[in-house]
Structure 1
């Protein structure tokens, strides 16, 4: 059987477990639609406002709710049936996508409305993200958790490859409204996959009385476990630095394509697609790297390489070299964050996995929101290349300092 043959490759083993492939496929379809919407709205905001600060600000609004809602989402996900919980959040996102589609077809779409919708969509993402990660962890045994999370990142980035290509075609033929409509319909794939999924029910009785007090106690317990575990503590600190200094390359793709290279939606789509392709290749190959060198050495190595790779991307003299640069940046970024997420989840007890995933999501999304807005605002004042290259160099300086001053710090992730 194909699933059995794939399962012999360490990076693809999760495909060999029942239930994982349908959820993976449904999520891929939805993410293709999401990336069509992301490219379409990013180009729309950049062309209407002409400001990198607006482009970065709207992107930041999708992640800003993570500061508060991600820990809450993790606590809720550890109390409700995760399959139902993710399905409800998906319906909420589908309603928001429907609203954007109607606004576009009726010619009432505007940048402020896009910003509000981005914020609300971010709320649903932050509340449901920890539950989805914990749901994936339930579908595979512990030894295949890294495979499950790597493949989840791969489908997200495969959507990043296909979605922008389709967005370019649809924007050229039908305009933004049709790209938004396709995204709305894509959520049906996730709902269909979840409807066929069967997972173990949580045996704990759920009580509404004292819910908020219990939720905050759950959040506090997750924070305390993360604080006491040296490996998780190091990974969450690393996530914050990556999110603020490196991750904004994602949200600033339209700015780079339009303001630096003087091109439009097709150039932005090329860069987003190249990043996704790099991440997909990395997702397939990272298991072999870990088998050969060990998780600690791979994680430490990629974090040292991430800054120089980001700087070379931002210094690209042409669009073609930028596409090559973001391919390698997307690959190293995927390996870095998937490794961090896997370490955080694998070091946490099963009943705390959603909460640990929520802490990771909170740090990543809040840091990204700050970083993409800050770098966008500074780019309007001192130039896109200067601020982004400076951030990449600063990240490298921090990683080298950690390596030189605390050479055994990464030992904690395997202790």
Structure 2
């Protein structure tokens, strides 16, 4: 077996992320539907997601420092087990506790993600980072296809307790895969000074081409925030769907994501970094605009299955490339802090998009806000193609780098 899959530690890391993400998508799809069904309020749905983001923003400095100071596999193992336990209050069905659980899960995920993504280059080697991120994007979309499709169905058949136990099972299995040691494990290192000073040290590493990524990620994240809140409303009010339809349309995006994940390595060898990112975002925005405006012509569900499946390909290409450049433009000693900073930046702008969705849905209308979401992606792509950032920049070893957020695909 050649490539990243030839590394046993990477296979276990990939599988652990896969099963955990299945449960995550079940929860991510089911909870907003549950809240919207209980309240009938777009504002309440938006509040659920915004509350979930705030703890992760507050913990970002600590998350990056921990990822650089502690053994990353052990940190991931502890966080995964804590996530399983933190789901148990959902058994009450109380809406306040739903918000609390969402907040705790987001906080724990903010500790997990920088450690996982900072560990990947150590596991596979720098020369295989792009291919490994492509495989991570592929499996993330397969998990999305399974988990998001299950989310609505599990909620409809088993209620909130059924959703909870599916997610708990995924975390327990992921933890079992992380119990075995990785060859690259190390003891405490890097950020040995005060956590706040250590985090500021990581901020100073954001220079060169990474500065341009701040604007691009900000635009995309606001668009994602609009989508997360308004998608349920779009499917239920414009398409006449229910729980199963919401889950299926979220999950089917992974069909295109599988294709995009498989193609990342091939594309990265043939296109410049910024061209790859720019054109994928432009294509993504165009497909999103098609989805939102086609409702004036047809509400046939099969049509939207095709459109949402199509958008997955440019989404995962953009996601895998973004993570690759962040990994390759930072040394291992500060990688966790740099990744945590960009994740918190994404979450902050996503929260802004969620707030805007809740506040502006009534005065501006659903269609206008969804078109604004598509325009944000188009704008981000055009910024890249017009030269924001450093075109043709090199990674730390002097090799051409693909610049395309994390291994999770962007949503339309």
Bin the TM-score by the shorter chain.
0.7 to 0.9
* Aligned partner of 1:78 among 46, 59, 68: 68
Aligned partners of 2:153 and 2:243 also within 8 Å: no
- 2:384 counterpart of 1:384: no
Residue 216 of structure 2 corresponds to 238
* Aligned partner of 2:148 among 140, 164, 179: 164
Residue 244 of structure 2 corresponds to 266
Residue 360 of structure 1 corresponds to 342
Q: Secondary structure at the match of 2:342?
A: helix
Residue 410 of structure 1 corresponds to 391
CA offsets 1:274-330 (integer angstroms, 9 cap, x no match): 122222221111211112224332122213333222222222322333332222323
Q: Secondary structure at the match of 1:411?
A: coil
- 2:15 counterpart of 1:37: no
CA offsets 1:21-48 (integer angstroms, 9 cap, x no match): 1221122122212211222212111111
Query: Cα offset for 1:251?
Result: 4.6
- 2:194 counterpart of 1:214: yes
Query: Cα offset for 1:195?
Result: 0.5
Aligned partners of 1:341 and 1:360 also within 8 Å: no
* Aligned partner of 2:286 among 286, 308, 319: 308
CA, structure 1 residues 352+266, in 2 after alignment: closer, same or farther (shift >3 Å)? same
Aligned partners of 1:313 and 1:329 also within 8 Å: no
- In 1, the alpha carbon distance for the partners of 2:20 and 2:8 equals 20
Residue 121 of structure 2 corresponds to 137
- In 2, the alpha carbon distance for the partners of 1:291 and 1:403 equals 18
Aligned partners of 1:153 and 1:283 also within 8 Å: yes
Aligned partners of 1:246 and 1:392 also within 8 Å: no
Aligned partners of 1:66 and 1:366 also within 8 Å: no
CA, structure 1 residues 348+383, in 2 after alignment: closer, same or farther (shift >3 Å)? same
* Aligned partner of 1:224 among 204, 209, 217: 204
- 2:207 counterpart of 1:186: no
TM-score by length of 2: 0.88
Q: Which runs of 5+ in 1 are unaligned?
A: 8-12, 104-108
- In 1, the alpha carbon distance for the partners of 2:388 and 2:112 equals 37
TM-score by length of 1: 0.87
Residue 67 of structure 1 corresponds to 57
Residue 307 of structure 2 corresponds to 325
Q: RMSD of aligned C-alpha atoms?
A: 2.4
Residue 10 of structure 1 corresponds to none
CA offsets 1:327-373 (integer angstroms, 9 cap, x no match): 23232222212211211110111211111211221111221122123
- 2:97 counterpart of 1:119: no
* Aligned partner of 2:327 among 345, 348, 359: 345
- In 1, the alpha carbon distance for the partners of 2:5 and 2:64 equals 25
- In 1, the alpha carbon distance for the partners of 2:391 and 2:240 equals 42
- In 2, the alpha carbon distance for the partners of 1:304 and 1:164 equals 25
Query: Cα offset for 1:247?
Result: 5.4
CA offsets 1:160-186 (integer angstroms, 9 cap, x no match): 111133334433433331121111121
Aligned partners of 2:282 and 2:378 also within 8 Å: yes
Query: Cα offset for 1:204?
Result: 5.0
Query: Cα offset for 1:70?
Result: 2.0
Q: Secondary structure at the match of 1:348?
A: coil
Q: Secondary structure at the match of 1:64?
A: helix
CA, structure 1 residues 205+241, in 2 after alignment: closer, same or farther (shift >3 Å)? closer
CA, structure 1 residues 279+401, in 2 after alignment: closer, same or farther (shift >3 Å)? closer
CA, structure 1 residues 144+49, in 2 after alignment: closer, same or farther (shift >3 Å)? same
Aligned residues: 392
Residue 298 of structure 1 corresponds to 276
Residue 397 of structure 2 corresponds to none
CA, structure 1 residues 247+141, in 2 after alignment: closer, same or farther (shift >3 Å)? farther
Aligned partners of 2:211 and 2:389 also within 8 Å: no
